[in-house]
Structure 1
Amino acid sequence: MMATLRSILLLAAGLCAGTADAQPPAAPDIPAPRAGEAVDTARAIQLREREAAQPVRPWTEPDPAAIPAGKAGDAIRYGQALLTRTSTLIGPNAPDPARRFAGNNLNCVHCHAVGPSGLPGTKPYSLPLVNVVNEYPKLDIKSMKVISLETRIAGMVGKGPAGGIPADGPEMQAILAYLKWLGRAGRPDTRMAQTGLDEVAMPNRAADAGRGERLYREQCVACHQPDGTGIKAPDFAGGAGYAFPPIAGNDSYDDGGHMAMVPLLARFLAANMPYGSTRQSPRLTVDEAYDIAAYVTNNLPRKHNPGRVKSYPAEALRPGGFVIPEQFPGDDAAYQRARLGPFIDPPALRQSADTRHDLAAEQ
């Protein structure tokens, strides 16, 4: 009876998380996550339940005029610049070879988009960064470990010619300063409405990659090009990166990345693409985004991640969208069916937390 009541309360929390005034029930008495903690499935479900029960505060639009003067403000502004001009400052072609920390020529703002404030990472439902400082340490179900915000940043930056971004270096400290400033109105163990990706139901059908290709050529090809490799800035060799980012090829996410999952990519596309779209003023239907995501994921080339077979080791928490051929040894026909959906998350993943915040935060 108690388990049933708890499930009902958690479901109610997930349904209400997107509203400004509705709040989930009080957090269950579950020990807080510790950075570096390796977890089993039971502990992971506990942590997700704990997160689902955290209070949700309304979206807060940052004001760039509130960035302080002096050294503190300088660090915040440098962090802002690093997210906006990542390729120029720390990319593989950055002018300073000693600071070529990033593993590709993208800018963080290509995914963590600019909102009305003009600041990177502040567009609702575009993987915004406005509250991330209050959400870590956080369970990462891809590795079944609790990770720190610094670990997440380092993982997203990757490793370039100069190695990864140093944990105690000025770049990491500046990014942290910017994220702390963005989240200064919140408090630890709170969530914020309109963060992560929009929680929309995927069509209960197999995705149509052929239709997705036609839609891609109508809606996406002008910026991302027929092969998905984007449009380089004129001074690409000097570190300028891309005018429009690649969504395929060696300078994009690999075949084990989060956006290689059709449902997650579809949720991003539905609220953000084509460029200029918002959740309130979308230009794609969810059905269209779903089919485009299937085409981009399955038909455009991207680099291979041999380590993907180790991702999501807990089957009970493995997203339904994580479909790789290694899961279907000797049965390619089954893989070909599964890779197009319909995609159904396992019950423990659906019931234990609000996936708008969970999976999206792992980007």
Structure 2
Amino acid sequence: MSGIEQRKYWLDTMLRIGTPVLEALAARRLKEQLPKEFHSERSQFAHLEAFARLACGMAPWLELQGLEGEEERLRACYAGLLLEAIDAAVDPQSPDYMEFKTEGQPLVDAAFLAHALVRAPKAVTDRLDARVKGNLIVALKQTRRTAPSGSNWLLFSAMVEAALYSLGDPEYDRMRVGYAVHMFMDWYKGDGVYGDGKDFHWDYYNSFVIQPMLLDVVTLFEQENEEYARLRPLVLQRAQRYASVLERSIAPDGTYPFLGRSIVYRFGAFQLLSQAALQHFLEDSLPPAQVRCALTAVINRIMQYPGTLDENGWLQPGIYGYQPELAESYINTGSLYLCAAVFLPLGLLPADPFWSGEDMKWTARRIADGENVMRDHALE
């Protein structure tokens, strides 16, 4: 496939995954329709999880200016659906009014929704009418009931406050932002990787949560705080390195190491690599088109397995098809929609080198084909 054909495949796949969620929620029927059989004890949180995680991945495409033709028609349509979905989720009179108040899990997914607001300020945040914005601010503030542990949860609190700042709420809490940033500076382990708290874990949480949220929070607030402006180049350099590690982890056949927690988030494991492409901070030695081809191989391999989606188009737990034993007890159907985070580069125009560049073999494929590839190096 050419880059333009790959873009169409990415877009079709994102909409195939996301349409059931957004259409049901915009019609205020998500609680009625979202499957609850899998880990049903977690079902009270499933609706916010599905919506927020999907929005987090779709937001850059919804924000994109300059599209034409059918894709622009689709973008405008889905931007409208997302606005309707937010209204349905935060309106106390809605049958799909979502759970923000309970301590614990709602903070997590309020943060993913908050990240969507930060990623789509013009298409989403600035287009909310006063009533919906007021309801959304109330909902986000309800998550302050949760005192986050010394882990990636600190960034959930910081991201919620970032969204409140973006919504123009003067009561956003700078301390929650500053505490998260400074703790993660202390938890850096080297070579582009942070601990999840003081300890290191072999998993993808540096990509699921830590580095995407840390970088976007520091970037959002760098104009407000000289220290964040000073830290941003360091945070960016570390993110560059980890993005390269992610690209090198993609095998010649499009598989990757299945390590650690939450592996059923599927290609959401590559959120930071996708963000590096979107925000143009890939290392100079890593061409954007090479990343496109690597991620396309990952997406295609996963999506071709029957059972990834059920007969009604809802995600099911697993990596390649239906593999429920891979899912931890905290995961429900809604959790799985963090896979949408891989689609961030759809926020780039078709003319961007990510999409317009000629097809390229990714690093592992070049090595496996016997090519003379420059050796890897640690971040000094």
Please, what TM-score do these two structures have when normalized by structure 2? Answer: 0.27
Normalized per residue, the structure richer in helix is 2
Please, what TM-score do these two structures have when normalized by structure 1? Answer: 0.28
Q: Which structure carries more relative contact order (alpha carbon 8 Å, separation 6+)? A: 2
